[in-house]
Chain A
């Protein structure tokens, strides 16, 4: 009882009548069940049709793996229709990962030697599309044999199978080199094309093959010449051009052979020039050839005339009405802007015009190219175009455009005022798209331009009055108003006509920023700090500031609350320090981020008279440290992410309470090796270390006098880098008896939470035999355990 089998086209029709997904699934499930039982019957008559139906259902997305073995049976069948569908099934359902794919190796091998070239073709095609490395290894020699057949139909398929073999098993390249060379001698375009593909693949994967194939360059040139010169060949003609596929493939091979080789490049010069000038550009096929020619010219060692020709072709492409051609012209120009900068510069006008192109990808590339072409001479006009572009550009390009403008402005700004203007313009146009580091960078730029403080703060003030939604702009503006508010009050500014601003106006703006729902927490932080700074720069409305600050002491935002409370404290308990603390910020070093800021300041510390640490000045030292800490606080707010300030706060607390902890801490000598900090003129000072807690170090110093006379009034002072706190306790005495008969000991407490490498400068003074000796030395040999 043979099951009646639905014809393929009937099934397709049936499936298409289904109105819902569920209906379709039902039809398919029923059909699959029928097919499965038919497979079980092992009936060969309908196998071909059933597998075909399975392949259709597979394309719709349904599982068809139970048909894999049936494909194998079809391939093994003697009937051509069976083989055709079987091999198709193998290519669609099997891939090299499945073990079943190995089972067809034998069939492929047999069919490669079949009488009918079409069966041979099926086998080669399947191997060339889905053959695994094992299959390729097994059949490599068969393929090589077929490469040498006289049948062009088989030769071209064998060549492309060889390409696949070479991709899967590159070691087999050697096997195909001799046969490949001879393939170029024929007339058949299919064979020629496949041969060129094979040679290209081998050269790409193996530089030795490249050397071997350089000798075919004359042959390639000849074939190209024949193609260009030959009359109309209807068989290979595309839009009036003779076999563009073959031409492009050969140009590609020439590119690989000519790379880094002057001699070979020289041999290609003429034909490349010919193709570049004679190819008809009215149809896409011609442009495809020109495109490939340009790529080849730029990649080999071509002479400069040819290179100029290539860039000009691209320049013409930019003006083409076809957007595809404009797109590839842009892409190519972008690739060569570094190597052939001047040639590309000549087309700058067209490129900048392409910023207005309708196509998004062309616009993007035009943007990249524009940035690559900016230099010191064209910066003004280029940035003008870019700012116009920024006004209308699509959202996905804004961020890149903004950062690009900043980078270019930094590199080539003709004047500081222009630079600041440009940045302001970007912030007002695309403020929400700029990167985070823009704000500190701009602030740093502003602090470095002291002559423009008035101008800058006025412009920012006006900008912020107009619009407080763009956070980076508002942050910079708030910071500037805080720092340079006095310029707003005085209304002086040579550059612009200015409006006199009252204290109330300024405070209004800052309050508005604080209260606006559009302001981010960081922005409000800036505004609050600026308000605080203004308390020392204005005269009448300090109370208003005090009030605002105390209100924010109960703000829900913890960061703002903390700041407000600190500032309140500054008003109440440390009012005498307020002016010093809120002084104008020092000029920020160029290219310094917070971390390197600290290191430069360490150097500065060493040059300045260092904050001395005398035993009876302990009180002042703590105070100084506190000062330093609050200055740090403001620094960090101005430059970096406010979230780092709590860390600094902790330091201060630890510093104050640290003493007690240190005294109560356990003594643990011997863990860290001691060092000799000073040894000169008979005076030696040794340091003994002991770690107390994670960040505290206790140094016990012992000073000894090896000279014959006593050293009296011995005083030791010490200074450390900025991030470390130091505290000297009272020494045991001030007399160093001669000949090491006694010593003076003193304890130094070091707090180093940032684990900065420990250095110390010592200043020693003593009197010996009536004369005073003073000396300064650096101690750099602290063992790493003292700070790590």
Chain B
């Protein structure tokens, strides 16, 4: 009797089912359950030149568990990278994303692999959300063959073109015009997809951003600029770098939305809204208008017809700017622990899962244990993976080398025909 009730009913009432749940493992039905659950975002959205999306977000148990698992995985991965860097297995620069996981996970939930994402150098988790594996991450960080860039890129240069993830960029701000270029190509190819170009509060003042924004608005490109505002550009707080740190308003004529970036559902809602706006008001709509209609339309609503928009994600990084930065000379430890206690994105989902009785604390801890093992296994595998072959020095300089010669440090001794 009880079992059939369990099998048929997808919602759980606390009293009856809890004791049974601990006796019988009900893992599978709960985590694939797609019965709608409505959650409220932490705070309402703030908008600039557009309407706000609703605070009520549709989700389900399956998505809640996916969010929890994905963010917990990212969290564990970044913490493991910290240890590897201190053990000198990772060299050079290493910029960690722990605290910001909700942006990567929420965005991915709102889009498809046809949509493009481009970001700066804090790219490990974005790579994973686009389908990258832990082995590819750790092997690349350690400069091994199994890395996503075969060991030649390093931490700041992860790519996954088959999932429309375009990197992984070291020069602050450069990824924004590049992202607008991706959007240009999507419109040009009539692809009905959009590009999310991510940048930080430090990059938000870059001139090239405004140049790209101007062109994107002028040419109606399906570009969505996403400012991951973690409030510090390396060691400089936003109020010391920007006259106006209201980044969602900085697009002037471009609509903007301010989002709680620590709330994966707020991120998902905002990205869904932005994508719809870009596609509905952009290339597809333009296609169905006659020339006269189009001219009338653009002249009558000069302000709100920009398809490209800005999403400002209010987020936070627990680590310093990079592993070379302690992160505590320009912020107080109280601030860091305060954010961790009040706004941690993983904890937020944990509380939602528990409050909706979708799992027990122990079950969630077990998931985290599994994740820990997954991460440890990937690291062990990556450590065994070999360094690139010497011949890799000269591969991929060009896509097509035309038989030209290239030289090593000693021109007489090390030379190669570029493949």
A binds B: no
